[in-house]
Amino acid sequence: MAKLDGRVALVTGSGRGIGQQVALQLAAEGAKVVVNDLDEAPAAETVELIKSNGGEAVACVGSVTDADFAKRIVDTAMDNYGDIHIIVNNAGYTWDATIQKMSEEQFDAIMDVHLKAPWRILKEAAEIIRIKTKEEALNGERVMRKVVNISSTAGSRGNPGQTNYSSAKAALIGLSKTLSKEWGRYNVCVNAVAFGLIETRLTEATDEKTEIEVAGNKVGVGVPKDMIAAMKMMIPLGRAGTPAEAAGGVMMFCLPESDYVSGQLLEVTGGF
C-alpha cells in the first residue's frame, strides 16, 4: 500500500516545474490530485502524466488570484473525491524591481498571488476540514491532514529587487506558523518550505531579455549567467536544485512520517 492511498491533494501551479513534480510525487504515493495551472495545456499534461502512471487526477484551470478560484478548486476536490487531506500552495511568479522603480500594481499583484490566494484557499477549506475532523472523531478515527505553503529564502533572508516577493513570502511563513496553532485541534500539520536556487523557467541562466505574460502583464524571467555562476559558488553542493529535489522537500511534510511536525520552516538550499 502506498503511503498516501485514499488521500486527496490540491496543488496550485502544478502544470510546470516544481508544482508538477509535487503533483507527480504525491500521485506516486497514492494521492488523488487536483492539478491547477493558469493555462489549460500544462494542467492537462500533468493530469495525463499522473493517469498514465496509474494515478488519479483532475484539473482546475485558472488564476489563483481570481475571486472565485478558492471555491472552484475546493469544489473540484469535493465533487470528484469527497475530501481534502493535503493542500500545497505553490502557484506564483516574480515581478522584480528596486523599490524606487516598483509600482503599486507590481507590489499588489505579487502579494495577491503569493499571500492572499493561499489565504483564500485555506479559508475556503476550513469548514470542510472542521466538519470532516468532527465526523472522524465521532468514529474514533484520527486522520492527519497537511498544508505546505511554498515560501522562499527571499522571504526568510531578503533579496534585492524583491520587496514585493520577499514581503509576500515572509508573510506566508507567518501565516503557516499561525495556522499551525489554529488548526492543530483539527489534526492538521501546517508547514512552509523555502527554496533557494532551483532550476525553473523563472531562474534560467540567460543574458537575453525574456518575458512571459501573466494576467496581461509582461514579466521578466531568467537570471544573468554571471549571477547564477556566483550563486552556485556560494552553495556548498555547488549547483542549483532540480524541480524533483525541490518537490522532495515538500513531500517530507506530506507523508505520515511527519505527522507530529507542524509550524516549521524548511529551507531547501543545497546548504546555502
Which residue spans within 128-264 are E strands per DSSP? 145-152, 188-195, 210-214, 217-221
Backbone angles phi, psi at 12, to 5 degrees: -80, 150
Cα angle 188, 190, 193 (rounded to 5 degrees) comes to 150
The dihedral through the CA atoms of 33, 37, 40, 44 has a sign that is negative
Cite the active site residues: 165
In sequence order, what are the residues at sequence separation of 6 or more whose Cβ sits closer than 8 angstroms to the Cβ of residue 70?
A: 64, 117, 120, 121, 123, 124
* Distance, CA of 10 to CA of 88 (rounded, Å): 6
Q: Which three cell numbers stand for residue 19?
A: 508544482
Residue 142 contacts residue 157 (beta carbons within 8 Å): no
Longest Cα separation, the chain: 60
Cα dist from 136 to 7, 133, 243, whole Å? 14, 5, 35
Cα angle 157, 193, 75 (rounded to 5 degrees) comes to 130
